Structure 1
Amino acid sequence: MSQITLVVPFLLPLPEFAPDLVRALQAPALSALLGRTSNAARSGQQHPNALPHESWLARELGLAQDGRPAFAAAAMRGFGLDPADDAWFIVNPAHVQIARSHLMLGDLRQLGLREDEGRALFEAARPLCDEIGHPLLYGDAGTWFLRAGDWVDVDPATPDTVVGMDLTDFVPRGQAALAFRKLQNEVQMAWHTHPVNAAGRVPVNSFWLWGASRASARKNGQLAAVSAPGWISGLSDPIWDGFDRLDTLYGNDATLIVGSLAEAALAADWGTWLLQVQELEQQLFAPLLGALTQGRIKSLRIVASSREGLAEFTTTAMAQRKFWRRPTLEALT
Structure 2
Amino acid sequence: MAYNLAMTDISLVLPFALPPSELGNDLIRALNMPALASLLTRHSGLQYKTFDNDSCALPHESWLAHALGLASAPDRPDTAAPLATAVMRGCGLQAEAAEGHWFMLQPAHVHISRTHMLLSDLRGLQLSEAESRSLYELARPYCEEIGKPLLHGAPGLWFLRANDWSGLRTATPDATVTQSMSDWLPEGEHAREFRKLQNEIQMLWHEHPVNEARQASGLQPVNSCWLWGGAGPAAPTSQLAIAGGTEWMQALAAQPATVEQLIAQPGAAMLGDLIAPAQVGDWSDWLARMQRLELQWFTPLLAALKAGRIPRVKLVLSHRSGWTTVSSSASAQRKFWRKPTLNPLLKQS
Same fold (TM over 0.5): yes
> Which of 65, 80, 91 in structure 1 is aligned with 2:92?
80
Distance 2:237 2:300 in 1: 27
For the residue of structure 2 that corresponds to 1:265, the secondary structure is helix
> Which of 336, 342, 346 in structure 2 is aligned with 1:323?
336
Match of 1:230 in 2: 247
Moved more, 268-277 or 205-214: 268-277
Offset of residue 295 of structure 1? 2.0
> Which of 18, 21, 32 in structure 2 is aligned with 1:15?
21
Contact 1:222 1:254 (C-alpha < 8 Å) held by counterparts: no
Query: Could you say which structure has the higher strand fraction?
Result: 1
Indicate how the Cα distance of structure 1 residues 57 and 219 shifts in structure 2: closer, same or farther if over 3 A, else same.
same
Whether 1:213 aligns to 2:231 is yes
Paired letter, 1:206: S
Indicate how the Cα distance of structure 1 residues 268 and 100 shifts in structure 2: closer, same or farther if over 3 A, else same.
farther
For the residue of structure 1 that corresponds to 2:317, the secondary structure is strand
Moved more, 57-66 or 16-25: 57-66
Match of 2:302 in 1: 289
> Which of 31, 36, 53 in structure 1 is aligned with 2:37?
31
Offset of residue 185 of structure 1? 0.7
Work out the number of aligned pairs and report it. 328
For the residue of structure 2 that corresponds to 1:324, the secondary structure is coil
Distance 2:322 2:337 in 1: 29
Distance 2:328 2:61 in 1: 23
Distance 1:49 1:37 in 2: 32
For the residue of structure 2 that corresponds to 1:297, the secondary structure is coil
Where structure 1 has 5 or more consecutive residues not aligned to the other structure, the ranges are: none
Distance 2:105 2:79 in 1: 20
For the residue of structure 2 that corresponds to 1:5, the secondary structure is strand
> Which of 280, 284, 292 in structure 2 is aligned with 1:267?
280
Contact 1:58 1:64 (C-alpha < 8 Å) held by counterparts: yes
Match of 1:52 in 2: 59
Contact 1:44 1:52 (C-alpha < 8 Å) held by counterparts: no
Whether 1:308 aligns to 2:321 is yes
Distance 1:173 1:56 in 2: 23
Distance 2:198 2:128 in 1: 22
> Which of 60, 64, 72 in structure 1 is aligned with 2:71?
64
Match of 1:133 in 2: 147
Distance 2:8 2:187 in 1: 46
Moved more, 176-185 or 113-122: 113-122
Identical-residue share of aligned pairs (%): 48
Distance 2:239 2:185 in 1: 34
For the residue of structure 2 that corresponds to 1:64, the secondary structure is coil
Indicate how the Cα distance of structure 1 residues 195 and 17 shifts in structure 2: closer, same or farther if over 3 A, else same.
same
Distance 1:31 1:158 in 2: 32
Contact 1:2 1:296 (C-alpha < 8 Å) held by counterparts: no
Offset of residue 195 of structure 1? 2.4
Moved more, 189-198 or 106-115: 189-198
> Which of 217, 233, 239 in structure 1 is aligned with 2:256?
239
Paired letter, 2:278: A
Moved over 6 A (4+): none
**What's the C-alpha RMSD, in Å, of the aligned pairs?**
1.6
For the residue of structure 2 that corresponds to 1:119, the secondary structure is helix
Paired letter, 1:72: A
> Which of 144, 153, 156 in structure 1 is aligned with 2:167?
153
Paired letter, 1:284: W
